[in-house]
Structure 1
């Protein structure tokens, strides 16, 4: 299936927000990514990723969805059309009901629009690609212990990777703080945030008045906080991502309230991921169900099979069945290995 440009990104499986790794192909240096995600999160658009994540078919073409009138979408009017793009085919990569990535494929003016066969192909690939992405969040990754996909591209391609093996919280590092004003401009930063930013892989970024470029996934998290404050979305503005040396960080943002109840600045916090954060994403990467993760958590608390059964109002036989499923999915053989793999951080 031919395409002229593309944006590929991993997403946080809980919030669906973009995180690392990200690849931008044939769209310049990636500096326009900020405007793309601002439109995605704060404007009225056709086919937003948040809707595709819940749709029966997780892929769709812009021209087909608008009856050949892509200018009905704010994203096309303010950005895509000005770049000479004529059509966009986008998909959410999901497995187990959770989004692990997103894809936007573009065709430039003069190329044919994406057809139903193109949509069907990308939709069919959604599950396999998501499964591949989520395996990188397991402690050993798909390539064995220590796997951390990483690279950098030049020219019109920006490439980087962060998912991989090992790594927990960052050894007691203090939280980093970034402040964005009501217009979305970064206005303040502490030294801890600069240290955390320096540990992140290279990738698409946007310049700031602070003298440094901010990764697009941090910008997206701050934009999501504003979208939630404006009633455009629900949930949390939060992502988890890996540093170059394999540590996990959590980034979360919240929109403060200004005078008169108006939306005020957005504060963004970057800090080492807690064991609970790591346990959840590792459990998701193995494909554990909510019930299986709940039982694994109770095992980590030292409860015996009969105690877990009583706490959850199920039979001991059912508990043993869930544990067998957990061991099989994670490639484990004992409760001790389960606790070390999921909860040791």
Structure 2
């Protein structure tokens, strides 16, 4: 167990790292290295999630899990296709955004199906500490730390420290999302791609363009196998069909090319009554789908988000004031705060910053009936 002084130093270090504006991979490398000084672990994984649906958008791994991706699809199906009291979504909703299996079960870890049926036989992990990384209303990711028989279970003090890091880790993830640059030139839109997954979790049909979309997802360096995103959607679709969740099975992901994609999953029912097949659709995200995510990542207040949304629609200051029932001076104050947080000096720069490089080249173009830029 770490000393109080060491725990305080780690919390301070993680907070500083989170404010450095690093890309996600660099942030996590430094933050997890610091955390390991106070909360040792043999392996760890850090999923990022879409804050609107809590569906995984990527996973980074550390320690003994590094490079082990062959069982990711099973993890995703368990996480999103079953109902456990300490799922990441459940931890995100709890008053304390961290928990450990050994502590939560009073030492009866066999009560955790995930640990007993998957983690122990597959990896030899005997305890897991989970946390959700929350910033205000949104959850941007989570963390699972693992120990094996060679180490003692996680302590209440360690869980408390990890819980205290929740907001700092969320800050690092959401600002890292904004700092992330495209790894390759954007690819031309290919239209929606469709994949059908059967009840045995096998891909049985792929539409034209599906392999290109999957390759674009698979090309992101440092990430674990992005197929866990597809598996998470499949599991979530089945939970949604069973009435176990009311969150739609969809997420927004930035691919290797830098293009924002939106992924949907829909459960299918056959005429003979059999169920289990799921259709997954991957398409380029339209501006209305991605803007709320990006705006939330800047950490704007609710009123600042309202002002920003109106600026993105081309509304002038006087009309913004009338719409949200404040004075023009108050609108200017909100705009100044927004500019400071986003790091821009004008409305034009704000629009370009929010839309990223995916949309900037097409700014000024007309939107078609589909909500995408006409002529794309």
TM-score grouping bracket, smaller chain normalisation = 0.7 to 0.9
Separation (CA, whole Å) in 2 of partners of 1:177 and 1:236: 17
Alignment pair present for 1:342 and 2:359: no
Separation (CA, whole Å) in 1 of partners of 2:56 and 2:291: 20
Per-residue Cα deviation, 1:38-85 (whole angstroms, up to 9, x for no partner): 222222323111111111211110111111111112212321232322
Structure 1 residue 263: Cα displacement: 4.1
Structure 1 residue 314: Cα displacement: 3.4
Structure 1 residue 313: Cα displacement: 3.1
Alignment pair present for 1:75 and 2:92: no
Native 8 Å contact 1:137 1:281 kept in 2: no
Q: How many residues align?
A: 314
TM-score by length of 2: 0.77
Unaligned runs of 5+ in 2: 1-38, 360-376
Separation (CA, whole Å) in 2 of partners of 1:51 and 1:122: 16
Q: How does 1:53-72 map to 2 (within 5 A)?
A: 53-72=92-111
Structure 1 residue 283: Cα displacement: 0.9
Matching residue of 2:71: 32
Matching residue of 1:231: 243
Which residue of 57, 71, 86 maps to 1:47?
A: 86
Unaligned runs of 5+ in 1: 142-162, 206-213
Native 8 Å contact 2:263 2:281 kept in 1: yes
Native 8 Å contact 1:169 1:247 kept in 2: yes
Matching residue of 2:192: 175
Matching residue of 2:205: 188
Native 8 Å contact 2:199 2:275 kept in 1: yes
Structure with the higher fraction of residues in strand conformation: 1
Structure 1 residue 110: Cα displacement: 4.0
SS of residue in 2 equivalent to 1:254: strand
Native 8 Å contact 1:169 1:248 kept in 2: no
Matching residue of 1:20: 58
Per-residue Cα deviation, 1:245-304 (whole angstroms, up to 9, x for no partner): 322222221223333776452111111122223322221221123432222121222222
Matching residue of 1:274: 286
- RMSD of Structure 2 on Structure 1 (CA): 2.4
Q: How does 1:181-330 map to 2 (within 5 A)?
A: 181-200=198-217, 201=220, 203-205=223-225, 215-259=227-271, 263-330=275-342
Larger mean Cα displacement after TM superposition, 299-308 or 256-265:
256-265
Alignment pair present for 1:136 and 2:176: yes
Structure 1 residue 130: Cα displacement: 1.6
Separation (CA, whole Å) in 2 of partners of 1:263 and 1:313: 51
Alignment pair present for 1:164 and 2:181: yes
Alignment pair present for 1:102 and 2:142: yes
C-alpha spacing 1:252/1:186, structure 2 compared with 1 (3 Å): same
Separation (CA, whole Å) in 2 of partners of 1:169 and 1:234: 34
SS of residue in 1 equivalent to 2:140: strand
TM-score by length of 1: 0.83
Separation (CA, whole Å) in 2 of partners of 1:178 and 1:217: 13
Native 8 Å contact 2:194 2:206 kept in 1: yes
Which residue of 108, 118, 121 maps to 2:161?
A: 121
Matching residue of 2:13: none
Matching residue of 1:149: none
Structure with the higher fraction of residues in helix conformation: 2
Native 8 Å contact 1:136 1:164 kept in 2: no
Per-residue Cα deviation, 1:223-263 (whole angstroms, up to 9, x for no partner): 11111111121222222222223222222212233337764
Separation (CA, whole Å) in 2 of partners of 1:187 and 1:293: 42
SS of residue in 1 equivalent to 2:296: helix
Alignment pair present for 1:4 and 2:42: yes
